[in-house]
Chain A
Amino acid sequence: MGKFIGKAVKRREDARFLKGAGKYTDDIKLPKMTQAAFVRSPYAHAKILSIDTSEAKNADGVVAVYTAQDGCGEYGVPCGWQVDFKNGETMREPQHPLLAKDKIRHLGEAVAIVIAESLEQARDAAELVEVDYEELPAVTDPKKAMEEGAPLVHDQWEDNAAFDWCIGNDRAEVEAALENAHHVTEMEYINQRVAPNAIEPRSYIADYDVNTDKWTLYTSTQNPHLIRLLLCAFVLGIPEHKVRVVSYDVGGGFGSKIYHYTEEAILTWVSKEIGRPVKWTSDRSEAFLTDAHGRDHVVHSKMGFDKDGKIVAHLTDEYCGMGAYLSTFAPAVPTYLHGTLFQGVYTTPLIHLNVVGPFTHAVPVDAYRGAGRPEATYLLERIISKAAKEMNMDPAELRFKNFIPPFDGVKESGYQTQVALQYDSGNYHGTLERGLEMLGYEDFRKEQSEARKNGRLLGVGISTYIEACGIAPSAVVGSLGARAGLYEVGHVRVQPTGKVSVYTGAHSHGQGHETVFAQFVADKLGIPMDDVQIEHGDTEQVAFGMGTYGSRSLAVGGSAIIKSIEKVLEKGAKIAAHKLEAAEEDLEYAEGKWTVKGTDKSISFGDVSLTAYVPHDYPEGLEPGLDYSSFYDPANFTYPFGTHIAVVEVDPDTGKVDLKRFVACDDVGNVMNPMIVDGQIHGGVVQGIGQALLEEVVYDESGQMITGSYMDYAMPRADDVPMIETDRTVTPCPHNPLGVKGAGEAGAIGSTPAVVSAVVDALSHLGVTDIQMPLTPQRVWKAMQN
């Protein structure tokens, strides 16, 4: 721990957020700016017979109206990750046009864009665009999409599969082990579609400057450089140095703002056509229809155990809906970010997962907090809890029995899984022991059986998760189909006065980078936090960086900054040695100054900085300046883990679930700021509770979304959530300089199965073994009646 590292320093960015002074894209108003509105399909699947824009073009205030016929980006937006068929066939990758041309493939797909002087005029004129459709049958259920005769989303292929992929041990071997198992637990369920619901809707402004022949795109994204690369090189064919992408404050992403959306590209195209800036901000209804959703897995799984309760094999088949097109990360989410976690924290010797990724007539999915790992954790933790009930064992005991033994990744090597990854370090017993202790598990079991006698339905659910974050070693993800490297850049610019500007390729959309990064930079340089400024989100300030997702900012982005700090200190030592007339090896650096060991001769960081920029009395042959940029490509993913335990009481008359306690003991490696880690865990846990109890995107059989507003889509509110009790164990990451693992997604990964298992536990004496999420009172009540 340093002066700032490990301290609960209050978030610098909160002053502006709490005062409503954040600078979000929609807050930006440029001179001569126009407003856009989209004409969107009321059908999920339809032929476009004709589009008549004549009336709209003549409406008040209208600047222009465009359809696909106007030739905007006909190649469409690309996919960023290739997942091929297990038989070697290449992933099926349809064009994803910016505006639908002949065919509609999901509800809300845009067919025209209307540009006007005001938003109201744009929206009014959009209503005047006449589109004739011929509605066609649709399919939105991933499994039904693979049935014989299902309506095809893309006519050029004989079925709807984008890929059919598998990972793990040989299927026949796993099947044979299940045949011979002492006990087999089986589960079939749907990990339902959820909507991301960032508090800030997507917002974009494109501004073409004819004088410099350059564009500026202001966008609410998680990865500005990636957007620039995709937009320039793949969609519009604009040279990258002609485009600046700016993403200042972003109000939540949760993965849904990784995706390079069609609207970003079409606005950029439009801005040059009309020679004026153009803005579009999604409204909440459009967000439900067009933001990338999460999850959508149809799961069938079997886990086999020997007579002592040791897992012998695990076999799973999934249908994971892609939606109508492949978003930037969609194919990776249910495959390489999902199947690779099927080892969990257990010594399972044989694992096989098969994933079919069908196109459906629904909005594309993409990463959603945890991206593939919550789905893996849900399956593992639910099936183990179900198995414990079936084998009449305690769910904690069954877990202890199957845990991978502790290893630190230094003295003991990493743990090689059956599903490609090698875990870095872990102590899975530790968090479960602490979690049970925090809960008072044995006392709770007594209270539960007493309560049952009085007709009260209490239950406890345990989840011992692991996840892979700090995404990711470029060569590894490249071999797994990623079309980008996943390193990060960190630039440390020491100003002549010794003040420090840090430019990171990571992107904050709520995480608190401005605080946490400043904490460790200040500590490593021994200077006050006030002397450190963290900048992000502008492609003309920051070198090519990869943005933030997969809990990577600190583990990867932080490590890149550390590399630059090391270079700064190395050069600073040369300057200090010259000024102090001492040998470099005789110097030590602490508290912001170089001191000749054993003397009181020293020179401050500020004086060295000034010398670097006013190099009058300076080491021979040394370049002036103190300014370093570094790229850091991690050696491995990082593997945070933990134990989440939920306690619920179910109302016997209504089936309403009251979440009474939630205990989270997480291990995210070293902690830079415990308050921010707690905040991340809290937010993630609540998102996971939302999926367990409340949230679900429902499409009807014709592809109409019947949960398209907050009247029908239930978000968790304060009274759905108890005080979350957090604690941590610390198992440092052995392969990055800060020893950190990442905390952004852990809450959403661990919490969901804990809540569902708790409800099932409360009702187990009634014969309930599983309930489909979300656990609405209606579903719980029905389960109790059967």
Chain B
Amino acid sequence: MISHKMKINGKYDINASSDVIWKMILDPEVLEKITPGIKSLETTDTDTYKAVSEVKIGPVKGAFNGNLSIKDKKEKESCLLVIDQKSKIGNVVAEIGIKLAPSEETNTEIQYTGEAKLSGKLAVMGQRIMSGVVSTLSKQFFKALEKEIENK
């Protein structure tokens, strides 16, 4: 049987120290700015947010809302991003481990790996293109993060 769980993994080099990156990705104001399609990000608890977003890539188009939380934090090293988003075209439940691996003094490789579970139209229509969608969204996220770091 083919698994409906979509593997998500990749890495991205950013010209900044793990210290800087760590602070940035835990800052809801920054997250709100750099996450693609995000409309609002509201802190509901420590490291827990209510997010509203709109995503449109190819045939995948929908307004998502639900929770984002960051767990298992190891200062400047790693954390687990837990996503539970609902939309009319289906729901996404994902757990993505994020690791910061300093490659040089001013350079960090961000490694991410995890799984997303899709349902509804997202699964029926979108599974073929979802990995492409996720990779595009991640690139957008990291580019925006890079820009944000440069601007600081």
**Interface residues, chain A, CB within 8 Å of chain B?**
42-43, 107, 127, 135, 141, 285, 288-289, 698, 700-702, 704-706, 708-709, 711-712
Min distance, Cβ B73 to any Cβ of chain A, angstroms: 28
Asked whether any CB of chain A lies closer than 8 Å to the CB of B70, the reply is no
Contact A706 B119 (CB under 8 A): no
Chain A's interface: helix, strand, loop or mixed, by majority? loop
Contact A135 B125 (CB under 8 A): no
Contact A706 B88 (CB under 8 A): no
Are A285 and B125 also in contact (CB < 8 A) when A700-B2, A704-B4 are?
yes
Chain A contacts of B3 at CB under 8 A?
700-701
Contact B124 A701 (CB under 8 A): no
Contact B128 A712 (CB under 8 A): yes
Are A702 and B127 also in contact (CB < 8 A) when A42-B91, A127-B88, A141-B1 are?
no
Asked whether any CB of chain A lies closer than 8 Å to the CB of B76, the reply is no
Are A42 and B127 also in contact (CB < 8 A) when A698-B2, A700-B3, A701-B4 are?
no
Min distance, Cβ A559 to any Cβ of chain B, angstroms: 45
Are A288 and B119 also in contact (CB < 8 A) when A42-B91, A706-B4 are?
no
Asked whether any CB of chain A lies closer than 8 Å to the CB of B100, the reply is no
Contact B1 A701 (CB under 8 A): yes
Contact B128 A702 (CB under 8 A): no
A289 to B123, CA, bound (A): 12
Contact A42 B90 (CB under 8 A): yes
Contact B121 A42 (CB under 8 A): yes
Which listed residue (B2, B119, B125, B127) contacts A43, Cβ 8 A?
B119
Contact A709 B125 (CB under 8 A): yes
Asked whether any CB of chain A lies closer than 8 Å to the CB of B117, the reply is yes
A702 to B3, CA, bound (A): 9
Chain A contacts of B118 at CB under 8 A?
704
Contact B121 A706 (CB under 8 A): no
Asked whether any CB of chain A lies closer than 8 Å to the CB of B10, the reply is no
Contact B124 A700 (CB under 8 A): no
Contact B119 A700 (CB under 8 A): no
A619 to B23, CA, bound (A): 107
Interface residues of B in 1-30 (CB under 8 A from A): 1-4
Contact A705 B2 (CB under 8 A): no
Asked whether any CB of chain A lies closer than 8 Å to the CB of B120, the reply is yes
Chain B contacts of A107 at CB under 8 A?
124
A-contact 0/1 string along B113-142, CB 8 Å cutoff: 000011111011101100000000000000
Contact B119 A702 (CB under 8 A): yes
A127 to B120, CA, bound (A): 13
Are A704 and B119 also in contact (CB < 8 A) when A289-B124, A709-B125, A712-B128 are?
yes
- Pick the 5 closest A-B CB pairs, nearest first: A42-B120, A708-B124, A700-B4, A704-B123, A127-B88
Chain B contacts of A42 at CB under 8 A?
90-91, 119-121, 123
Are A706 and B120 also in contact (CB < 8 A) when A42-B91, A141-B1, A701-B3 are?
no
Chain A contacts of B120 at CB under 8 A?
42-43, 704
A708 to B120, CA, bound (A): 10
Contact A702 B117 (CB under 8 A): yes
A-contact 0/1 string along B51-74, CB 8 Å cutoff: 000000000000000000000000
A403 to B64, CA, bound (A): 63
Chain B contacts of A127 at CB under 8 A?
88
Chain A contacts of B91 at CB under 8 A?
42
Contact B124 A711 (CB under 8 A): no
A141 to B1, CA, bound (A): 10
Contact A709 B124 (CB under 8 A): yes
Chain A contacts of B88 at CB under 8 A?
127
Chain B contacts of A698 at CB under 8 A?
1-2
Min distance, Cβ A701 to any Cβ of chain B, angstroms: 5
**Taking CB as reference atom, which chain A residue is nearest B125?**
A709
Chain B contacts of A701 at CB under 8 A?
1, 3-4
Most buried by A among B2, B91, B119, B121: B119
Most buried by B among A288, A698, A700, A708: A700
A709 to B124, CA, bound (A): 7
**Taking CB as reference atom, which chain B residue is nearest A127?**
B88
A288 to B127, CA, bound (A): 15
What are 17 pairs between A and B in contact, CB < 8 Å? A42-B90, A42-B91, A42-B120, A43-B119, A107-B124, A135-B119, A285-B121, A700-B1, A700-B3, A700-B4, A701-B1, A701-B4, A702-B117, A702-B119, A704-B118, A712-B127, A712-B128
Min distance, Cβ A126 to any Cβ of chain B, angstroms: 8
**Taking CB as reference atom, which chain A residue is nearest B123?**
A704
Chain A contacts of B90 at CB under 8 A?
42
17 additional contacts (CB under 8 A) given A700-B1, A706-B4 = A42-B120, A127-B88, A141-B1, A285-B124, A285-B125, A288-B124, A289-B124, A700-B123, A704-B120, A704-B123, A705-B124, A706-B2, A706-B124, A711-B125, A711-B128, A712-B127, A712-B128
A698 to B128, CA, bound (A): 14
Chain B contacts of A708 at CB under 8 A?
124-125
Chain A contacts of B4 at CB under 8 A?
700-702, 704, 706
**Taking CB as reference atom, which chain B residue is nearest A43?**
B119
Chain B contacts of A705 at CB under 8 A?
123-124
A288 to B117, CA, bound (A): 21
A698 to B4, CA, bound (A): 11
Chain B contacts of A43 at CB under 8 A?
119-120
Min distance, Cβ B121 to any Cβ of chain A, angstroms: 7
A705 to B121, CA, bound (A): 9
A709 to B59, CA, bound (A): 12
Chain B contacts of A704 at CB under 8 A?
4, 118-120, 123-124
**Taking CB as reference atom, which chain A residue is nearest B62?**
A127
Interface residues of B in 80-115 (CB under 8 A from A): 88, 90-91
A700 to B91, CA, bound (A): 15
Chain A contacts of B128 at CB under 8 A?
711-712
A138 to B90, CA, bound (A): 17
**Taking CB as reference atom, which chain A residue is nearest B1?**
A701
**Taking CB as reference atom, which chain A residue is nearest B120?**
A42
Min distance, Cβ A105 to any Cβ of chain B, angstroms: 15
Chain B contacts of A135 at CB under 8 A?
119
A702 to B120, CA, bound (A): 11
Chain A contacts of B127 at CB under 8 A?
706, 712
A511 to B2, CA, bound (A): 38
A694 to B124, CA, bound (A): 18
Min distance, Cβ A630 to any Cβ of chain B, angstroms: 48
A711 to B91, CA, bound (A): 21
Chain A contacts of B124 at CB under 8 A?
107, 285, 288-289, 704-706, 708-709
**Taking CB as reference atom, which chain A residue is nearest B63?**
A127
A285 to B124, CA, bound (A): 9
